[in-house]
Structure 1
Amino acid sequence: MTETPKVASQAPLPAPPLERVAVFIDYQNAHLSAREAFLPWGSPTSDGHIDPCAYAQALVGMRKRPSRLLSVRVYRGRPDPRHEPGAAGANDRQAAVWQRNGAVVCRRPLRYPHDWPDLPAREKGVDVQLACDVITEAMTHQVDVVIIASRDTDLIPALEIVRSRRLAHVETASWDGSSRICFPGEGQPWCHRMDETAYEAIRDRRDYTKG
């Protein structure tokens, strides 16, 4: 009687390691871009906000490689209470909720022109701080991937440094129908695009105007 040859059992392949992901959100850029893409013209300025932690979790969930969200960092301006006490209070309450949910919120004072309020206040130094923190975070080698949620092309030099020195893998995020950050002459870095359904799922619908 012929014996059936025995097949050596194979040990299961080890699971690929989780990639550690840090998400950096240029908040004003991401928020206004979402309003332009998905909300009707003339919607209240307080409408359409994004929950940073939910946004970051959704971005990590869109990755094809096993991933773990390591940190969420949000960059935005802060109104001056002397000029806009109501807006400053809402901004503070919003930042406090986001921080309790696990985000790091980095705010810089808005710059008010001499003819304010005829001309609006503007953010100053927010993109520079974001760029510096992306490089600093990547240099620690505590993260494998950085995702930048912004369309601001001023951030490209910082992303080029991270990529050229192989400090971390670089990805970006934008909305369907919106522009994206690209290295000159390339289709990179990879951009995670969210449609309106995904946007509705990560909106922050809390009313921060009430103290």
Structure 2
Amino acid sequence: MPEPQRVTVFLDWQNVYNHAREAFHSRSDAHTLGQVHPLDLGLTLAAMAPAGIERELTCVRVYRGMPDQQHDPKSYAAARRQIARWTKDERVVVIDRTLKYPPGYRHGTSDPALVKEKGIDVALALDFAVMASDNRYDAGILMSCDHDLLPAVERVVQRRKTRGEGPRVEFAAWQSPIRRSPRMRMPGENIYCHWLDQTTYWGLQDDRNYTHPSPADHPPKARA
């Protein structure tokens, strides 16, 4: 019996979050809506294998921006709590880069839209291509709509086509019940996309407000 395919899921976190809000929520909804549990998302995608193929989730890689502790200590602390919860399972790996703030930015008074991610797409693209070359996954599922990632995807796809080796590439996207849903597309290639509908989303949702500490963040110490 063949070994299960090793699945690595690559999540462009801000993209995943923003498109979940667009697909299933309104702009006025609480900021916690749109969050999902990365491990549960990864397990769901790994289970959506083509007929006759057995798969096993080996890694969920989450690429995200990290608030700066000096510019926005509250959001920084919330992000640390969120990451700590995600990484309780060793299959979840978080790759973060500090957000970039314009000169004179003041949290609470400056426009938050001025804060930008920098280096996230580069890190994701590099890992996607290098890990494929190193044979670290058999199926790579990318959840993002950032077409800056396409050169890395193309490299992996072309290697599989021309050499007959390397992992299978698949995409994932949210499927809104009421509006057109964006997804990653690669010109000239028919790459399979896993559509995740509203029912699936509800099962993955994480509605915790991480700006508020929880007793679970600081478990009681064992007695001597």
Structure 2 length-normalised TM: 0.83
| Aligned pair partner of 2:98 in 91, 109, 120 | 109
Structure 2 match to 1:79:
67
1:33-52 map, 5 Å: 33-52=19-38
Give the letter for the 1:198 counterpart. T
The corresponding residue for 2:123 is: 129
Post-superposition offset of 1:16: 4.4
**2:210 alignment partner AA:** Y
Q: Distance between the aligned counterparts of 2:172 and 2:104, measured in 1?
A: 35
Tell whether the 8 Å contact from 2:32 to 2:208 is kept in structure 1 after alignment.
no
Preserved contact between residue 142 and residue 172 of structure 2 (Cα < 8 Å): yes
State the number of aligned residues. Answer: 196
Aligned positions of 1:52-201 closer than 5 A:
52-64=38-50, 65-102=53-90, 103-114=92-103, 116=105, 117-118=110-111, 119-166=113-160, 167-176=166-175, 177-186=180-189, 188-201=190-203
Q: Which amino acid aligns with 1:145?
A: A
1:163: how far off?
Answer: 1.1
1:55-76 Cα shifts (integer Å, max 9, x gaps): 0101111112210111110000
Aligned-partner Cα distance in 1 for 2:72–2:32: 14
Residue among 208, 211, 215 paired with 1:209: 211
Q: Distance in 2 between matches of 1:160 and 1:115?
A: 40
Report the secondary structure of 2:63's partner residue: strand
Deviations 1:87-106 (A, max 9, x none): 11000110111111231001
CA RMSD across the alignment: 1.4
CA distance in 1, matches of 2:18, 2:95: 18
Secondary structure, counterpart of 2:187 in structure 1: coil
Maintained 8 Å contact 2:32/2:207 = no
Structure 2 CA distance for aligned equivalents of residues 141 and 122 of structure 1 = 33
Matched residues, percent identical? 40
The SS at the match of 1:171 is strand
Q: Is the 8 A contact 2:32 2:206 kept in 1?
A: no
Partner secondary structure for residue 100 of structure 1: coil
Amino acid aligned to 2:173: S
From 14, 17, 38, the equivalent of 2:3 is 17
Letter of the aligned partner of 1:144 in structure 2? D
For 1:164 and 1:91, how far apart are their aligned partners in 2? 37
> SS in structure 2 opposite 1:137?
helix
Q: Distance in 2 between matches of 1:124 and 1:59?
A: 27
Task: Using structure 1 for the length normalisation, give the TM-score.
Answer: 0.88
Structure 2 CA distance for partners of 1:45 and 1:205, relative to 1, 3 Å: closer
Structure 2 SS opposite 1:154: helix
Unaligned runs of 5+ in 1: 1-14
The structure 1 segments of at least 4 consecutive aligned residues displaced by more than 6 Å after TM superposition are none
Q: Which has the larger radius of gyration?
A: 1
- Residue 17 of structure 1 deviates from its aligned partner by 3.5
